[in-house]
Chains A and B, each alone.
Chain A
Amino acid sequence: MRPDVAAWLARARADAEGRGLTALVPLLEALARSTAALRDANFDAGPDGPAETTHARDAAE
């Protein structure tokens, strides 16, 4: 798992357990996998090639 998502999961798990919501932990683990997939996805890569991203627009200003 990506280190940033793994760190998020560790914090979320600790918080859920501290609140007595241990049943939440498996759901948070599934959410972490989904978050990693979302962060890894490149939605700007359409069939016509990468679209201009916000980052690119900011860099151009």
Chain B
Amino acid sequence: MPVTLPSSLRDAAGLIERRDLSPVELTRACLDRIAAVDADLHAFITVTADIALADAARAEREITAGRYLGALHGIPVSLKDLVDLGGTPTTSGSAVPPRRPDRDAVVTANLRRAGAIVVGKTNLHEFAFGTTSDETAFGAVRNPHDVSRSPGGSSGGAAVSIVERMCYAAVGTDTGGSIRIPSAACGIVGFKPRIGEISTDGVVALSTTLDHVGPMAGTVADAALTYFAMRDGHVRQADVAGLDNDPVTVGVPGPYFLDTLDPEVRRLFGDARATLARAGHEVVDVAIEHAERTADVYLHIVLPEASWYHAALLERHADKYSPGVRLRLEMGRYVLAEDYVRAIHARAALGRAVDRALERVDALLLPSLAIPAPPIGAASVDVDGAKEPVRAIMLRLTQLFNITGHPAIALPMGRGRDGLPRGLQLVGHRGSTNELLAAAIVVERQLAGKEAS
């Protein structure tokens, strides 16, 4: 009899713990879902069915024997194909020869120690160097809300794997916004923890200063459970039950973050802000000095660091890269050392500026993506009458918090009149990740209550 897929990771975990649902049944259902829909969406590069079913069978034996490990035990998850799974190629979405790891990345090992079941490696923008997941050797990833559109990127396949319930949690990476951007474009939750909280050991680098690893899931609670498992190798439902921080005080930074927005993003963000204020949460305006220089600082860090990583590969395999990715890697070779160091120094100043903006609030509140999911292959988009380059406008609201390392989470704020999802973003204090997750749970609950009314 076909299994009715639970609607969330927490629901699935509850059913598995009570033995009302077998990990093998759930894994098989997810694999069937991948087989049924992914031919057109290209969310996955490698489906690890044999590994997944073997791990699911082991999970079932453990749970039957009374050795339940916690909320991720028996839960199907996906890994962005930058993240090593021992014995499986890591393609990075590229035609460049893959690396062939003999051991799991630290984050993979932690998830599997927590009992998670890896169903496959997800498609992405090649080497994570883009925001649209359409420069990839494995077919452009398509947005399930409108298959003519990108799901965002670079963790586009990961986002689609959640939307289409091919798994219940996804591991993504975020260097300028690559978890939060596809989360906003696809209407799911994507969490970039504080810099260094989740190990990047065994993850293909784009920029070692800016890279973060984090979870993507259907709800904040599901993302939080996955984050704890990724970080610690174990997690309990109770780890999330205590996360609450009602009422919250949020600061809305302007003007850089609000002056170039799709009209529906502006409308829905204004609605979200008003909903929180009506419900008794404090919403204040704050400022972040030097925010208008964010893109300049970002570019002078990401370009040379990416070029450094790819130097040997470019010498041997330049013709195997997507043309656009190759050109951006070549650009990095021209950044002078003095400008790279200038940007690294600016990073400290920007970090202090964000700290000051956070001084009297629990979190910053801003949109996560300035536009809806763009058409596949678009180089520019119209934003309220002005033509904007796609990559720059998609990075605009997220990349600052990669530079500074503050934890940041994207969550849905509704659909525009065009039916496409829009997302908002909460940014927390450095060293206060749990408090940020608590604030996000409150905001999510508040916005869900408004949609239900």
Residues of A within 8 A of B (CB): 8, 12, 15-16, 21, 23-24, 27-28, 31, 34-35, 37-39, 41, 43-44, 46-47
A23 to B300, CA, bound (A): 20
- Point out the residues of chain A lying under 8 angstroms from B5, CB to CB: none
Task: Output the least CB separation between A43 and chain B (Å).
Answer: 4
What are 18 A-B contacts defined by CB distance under 8 Å? A12-B334, A15-B334, A16-B334, A31-B334, A34-B299, A35-B336, A35-B339, A37-B293, A37-B296, A38-B293, A38-B296, A38-B300, A38-B343, A41-B290, A41-B346, A43-B290, A44-B349, A46-B289
Residues of B within 8 A of A (CB): 289-290, 293, 295-297, 299-300, 303, 323, 327-328, 330-331, 334-336, 339, 342-343, 345-346, 349-350, 352-353, 356
Task: Output the least CB separation between B393 and chain A (Å).
Answer: 14
Q: Is the CB of A21 within 8 A of B330?
A: yes
Q: Which secondary structure dominates chain B's binding surface? A: helix
Task: Output the least CB separation between A52 and chain B (Å).
Answer: 13
Q: Is the CB of B330 within 8 A of A46?
A: no
Q: Is the CB of B349 within 8 A of A27?
A: no
Q: Which residue of B lies closest to A44 (CB)?
A: B349
Task: Output the least CB separation between A60 and chain B (Å).
Answer: 18
Q: Is the CB of B339 within 8 A of A38?
A: yes
A13 to B299, CA, bound (A): 18
Q: Is the CB of A35 within 8 A of B300?
A: yes
Which 10 A/B pairs are nearest by Cβ-Cβ distance?
A43-B349, A38-B296, A43-B346, A34-B296, A12-B334, A37-B296, A41-B293, A34-B299, A27-B331, A35-B339
Task: Output the least CB separation between A4 and chain B (Å).
Answer: 10
- Point out the residues of chain A lying under 8 angstroms from B339, CB to CB: 35, 38-39
Q: Is the CB of B356 within 8 A of A47?
A: yes
Q: Which residue of A lies closest to B336 (CB)?
A: A8
Task: Output the least CB separation between A39 and chain B (Å).
Answer: 7
Q: Is the CB of B331 within 8 A of A24?
A: yes
- Point out the residues of chain B lying under 8 angstroms from A8, CB to CB: 336
A41 to B345, CA, bound (A): 12
Task: Output the least CB separation between A61 and chain B (Å).
Answer: 19
A38 to B334, CA, bound (A): 15
A39 to B345, CA, bound (A): 12
- Point out the residues of chain A lying under 8 angstroms from B331, CB to CB: 24, 27-28, 31
Q: Is the CB of B353 within 8 A of A46?
A: yes
- Point out the residues of chain A lying under 8 angstroms from B342, CB to CB: 38-39
Q: Is the CB of B327 within 8 A of A27?
A: yes
Q: Is the CB of B345 within 8 A of A27?
A: no
List 13 additional contacts besides A35-B296, A38-B339; criterion CB under 8 Å: A16-B334, A27-B328, A31-B299, A31-B331, A35-B335, A37-B296, A39-B339, A39-B342, A41-B346, A43-B290, A43-B345, A43-B350, A44-B349
